[in-house]
């Protein structure tokens, strides 16, 4: 096989191009595989702990149900959802939607702070305070709703912060239990 002239140069170019493409493809596959192994390792470490399940349930409730449930119904049979509160002019009503999203983000961040249990515990307490604030705002707003002469309807979304608080307290208890277990093992050394 003898290549002469420009055909030989084209062959070398295409061969080197294929090698570069193969190396890039191989490099990307190795990077993706290493990333997947890292994520899989982190996920197995995180999911093995019960507080991660509690925190993920809190994320689903405070971040996922905002699109589904209503908070209350106005006099003209218009339902107010959590996303609708972000469009309100009043700051207190607007802070309801903001608080739901902040609570959800704090829970997600707490899930990924699984190596630092003290920070995870503090974030859980902060998240509990935010949900108590949110619960107070929702109860105040539900008591101030007009329409008592006609039938006023409060939605199930008012009770979401209460359930989230329960999950966060259970997660904090599990975090505290893990911390006590680590301290007891350190004492044995």
**pTM for this predicted structure:** 0.70
Encode pLDDT of 90-129 as tens digits: 888 889 889 999 999 999 999 998 888 899 999 999 999 9
**How does strand 79-81 pair with strand 70-73?**
antiparallel
Encode pLDDT of 7-60 as tens digits: 444 444 444 444 444 445 555 555 555 555 445 544 555 556 888 999 999 999
Q: Cα angle at 117 between 115 and 121, to 5 degrees?
A: 140
CA distance 161 to 133: 9
Encode pLDDT of 143-189 as tens digits: 776 655 444 567 777 888 999 999 999 999 999 998 888 888 877 76
CA distance 159 to 135: 8
């Amino acid at each position: 096989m003898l290549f002469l002239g420009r055909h030989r140069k084209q062959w070398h170019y295409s061969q080197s191009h294929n090698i570069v493409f193969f190396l890039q493809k191989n490099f990307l596959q190795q990077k993706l595989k290493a990333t997947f192994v890292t994520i899989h390792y982190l996920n197995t470490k995180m999911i093995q702990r019960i507080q991660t399940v509690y925190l993920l349930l809190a994320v689903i409730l405070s971040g996922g149900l905002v699109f589904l449930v209503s908070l209350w119904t106005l006099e003209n049979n218009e339902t107010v959802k959590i996303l609708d509160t972000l469009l309100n002019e009043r700051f207190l009503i607007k802070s309801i939607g903001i608080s739901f999203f902040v609570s959800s983000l704090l829970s997600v961040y707490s899930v990924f702070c699984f190596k630092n249990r003290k920070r995870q515990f503090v974030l859980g307490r902060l998240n509990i305070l935010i949900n108590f604030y949110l619960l107070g705002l929702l109860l105040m707003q539900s008591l101030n709703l007009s329409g008592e002469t006609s039938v006023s309807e409060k939605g199930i979304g008012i009770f979401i912060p209460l359930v989230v608080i329960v999950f966060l307290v259970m997660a904090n208890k599990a975090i505290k239990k893990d911390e006590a277990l680590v301290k007891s093992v350190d004492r044995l050394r």
